[in-house]
Amino acid sequence: MSEPQSKEIEALTPQEAEAELARLSGVLGAANTAYHRDDAPEISDAEYDSLKRRNAAIEARFPELKRSDSPSDQVGGAVADGFSKVTHEVRMLSLGNAFDDEDVAEFDERVRKYLGLEPGTVAYTAEPKIDGLSLSLRYEGGALVQAATRGDGEIGENVMANARTIEDVPHKINGAPDVLEVRGEVYMSHADFEALNARQTEAGGKTFANPRNAAAGSLRQLDASITKARPLRFFAYAWGALSAPLSETQFGAIERLSELGFQTNPLTRLCDTTDALIAQYRAIEEARATLGYDIDGVVYKVNDLALQQRLGFRSTTPRWAVAHKFPAELAWTTLEGIDIQVGRTGALSPVARLHPVNVGGVMVSNATLHNEDYIAGRDAKGQPIREGRDIRVGDHVQVYRAGDVIPKIADVDLSKRPKNAEPFVFPTVCPECGSDAVREEGDAVRRCTGGIVCPAQAVEKLKHFVSRAAFDIEGLGAKQVEQFYADGWIKQPADIFTLRERYGTGLQQLKNREGWGEKSANNLFDAIDEKRQIPLARLLFGLGIRHLGEAGSALLANHYGNWDTFEAAMTEAEIGAGEAWEALNDIDGVGAVMAASVVNTLQQDAERAAIDALVAQLDVQEAVRRVVEGSPVAGKTVVFTGTLEKMTRAEAKARAEALGAKVSGSVSAKTDLLIAGPGAGSKAKKAADLGVETIDEDGWLELISAL
Ligand code: IVH
Q: Which amino acid is at 364?
A: V
Kindly provide the residue ranges of all beta strands, DSSP E only, lying in 259-294, ordered along the sequence: 269-271
Lowest-confidence pick of 160-169, 508-517, 560-569, 687-696: 508-517
Q: How much distance in Å is there from the Cα of 535 to the middle of ligand 1?
A: 30
Is residue 134 classed as helix, strand or coil in its secondary structure?
strand
Q: Indicate whether residue 299 lines ligand 1 (CB < 6 A).
A: yes
Q: Which of the two residues, 379 and 115, has the higher pLDDT score?
A: 115
**Could you give the angle at the alpha carbon of 67 between the alpha carbons of 66 and 68, nearest 5°?**
125
If you take atom 12 of ligand 1, which residue's CA is the nearest one? 129
Is residue 242 classed as helix, strand or coil in its secondary structure?
strand
Q: Is the pLDDT of residue 208 over 50?
A: yes
Q: Indicate whether residue 324 lines ligand 1 (CB < 6 A).
A: no
Contact 389, 421 (CB under 8 A): no
Beta strands 673-676 and 693-695 are parallel
Q: How much distance in Å is there from the Cα of 416 to the middle of ligand 1?
A: 41
- Please give the model's pTM, rounded to 2 decimal places: 0.61
Q: Indicate whether residue 134 lines ligand 1 (CB < 6 A).
A: yes
How many other β-carbons are positioned within 10 Å of the β-carbon of residue 670? 12
If you take atom 6 of ligand 1, which residue's CA is the nearest one? 129
Q: How much distance in Å is there from the Cα of 498 to the middle of ligand 1?
A: 43
Tell the CATH superfamily of the 85-325 domain.
DNA ligase/mRNA capping enzyme (3.30.470.30)
Q: What is the pLDDT of residue 461?
A: 94
Q: What are phi and psi of 555, to 5 degrees?
A: -60, -45
Beta strands 295-302 and 321-325 are antiparallel
Q: How much distance in Å is there from the Cα of 95 to the middle of ligand 1?
A: 6
Domain ranges of the chain: 9-66+329-416, 85-325, 451-531, 535-621, 637-704
Q: What is the pLDDT of residue 206?
A: 81
Q: Is the pLDDT of residue 79 over 50?
A: no
Out of 3.40.50.10380, 2.40.50.140, 3.40.50.1000, 1.25.40.340, select the CATH number for domain 9-66+329-416: 2.40.50.140
Q: What is the pLDDT of residue 624?
A: 74
Catalytic residue among 129, 325, 531, 683: 129
User: Which atom of ligand 1 lies closest to the CA of 323?
Assistant: 7
Contact 553, 96 (CB under 8 A): no
Q: Indicate whether residue 238 lines ligand 1 (CB < 6 A).
A: yes
- What's the distance, CA 149 to chain centroid? 15
Q: What is the pLDDT of residue 55?
A: 86
Lowest-confidence pick of 79-83, 98-102, 314-318: 79-83
Kind and range of the H or E run holding 65: none
- What's the distance, CA 102 to chain centroid? 26
Q: Which of 97, 130, 258 has most ligand 1 atoms within 8 Å of its beta carbon, as the pocket-test mutant? A: 130
Q: Is the pLDDT of residue 470 over 80?
A: yes
Q: Domain 451-531's class? A: mainly alpha
Contact 71, 29 (CB under 8 A): yes
Q: Domain 637-704's class? A: alpha beta
Out of 1.10.443.10, 1.10.3720.10, 1.10.150.20, 1.10.3080.10, select the CATH number for domain 535-621: 1.10.150.20
Torsion over CA: 627, 631, 634, 638 (sign): negative
pLDDT in tens, 91-139: 998 999 998 999 999 999 999 999 999 999 999 999 999 999 999 999 9
Q: Indicate whether residue 94 lines ligand 1 (CB < 6 A).
A: yes
Q: How far apart are CA 221 and CA 206, in angstroms?
A: 14
- Average pLDDT in the chain: 89
User: Per-residue pLDDT averaged across 48-75, rounded?
Assistant: 77
Q: Indicate whether residue 129 lines ligand 1 (CB < 6 A).
A: yes
If you take atom 17 of ligand 1, which residue's CA is the nearest one? 129
pLDDT in tens, 648-685: 888 888 888 888 888 888 898 889 999 999 888 889 99
Q: Indicate whether residue 127 lines ligand 1 (CB < 6 A).
A: yes
Q: How much distance in Å is there from the Cα of 239 to the middle of ligand 1?
A: 11
Lowest-confidence pick of 36-45, 72-81, 659-668: 72-81
Torsion over CA: 80, 86, 87, 90 (sign): negative
Q: Is the pLDDT of residue 466 over 50?
A: yes
Q: Is the pLDDT of residue 265 over 90?
A: yes
Q: What are phi and psi of 244, to 5 degrees?
A: -150, 145
Q: Residue 83's beta-bridge partner residues?
A: none
If you take atom 21 of ligand 1, which residue's CA is the nearest one? 134
If you take atom 10 of ligand 1, which residue's CA is the nearest one? 94
Active site residue 129: yes
Query: Which residues lie below 8 Å from residue 593, measured CB to CB, with a gap of 6+?
Result: 547
Task: Kindly indicate the confidence band of residue 514, based on its pLDDT and cuts at 50, 70 and 90.
Answer: confident
Q: How far apart are CA 300 and CA 312, in angstroms?
A: 15
Task: Kindly indicate the confidence band of residue 80, based on its pLDDT and cuts at 50, 70 and 90.
Answer: very low
User: Per-residue pLDDT averaged across 187-206, rounded?
Assistant: 90
**Same topology between domain 451-531 and domain 535-621:** yes
Q: Is the pLDDT of residue 405 over 70?
A: no
If you take atom 23 of ligand 1, which residue's CA is the nearest one? 94
Q: Indicate whether residue 237 lines ligand 1 (CB < 6 A).
A: yes
Q: Indicate whether residue 318 lines ligand 1 (CB < 6 A).
A: yes
Q: What are phi and psi of 402, to 5 degrees?
A: -120, 115
Is residue 703 classed as helix, strand or coil in its secondary structure?
helix
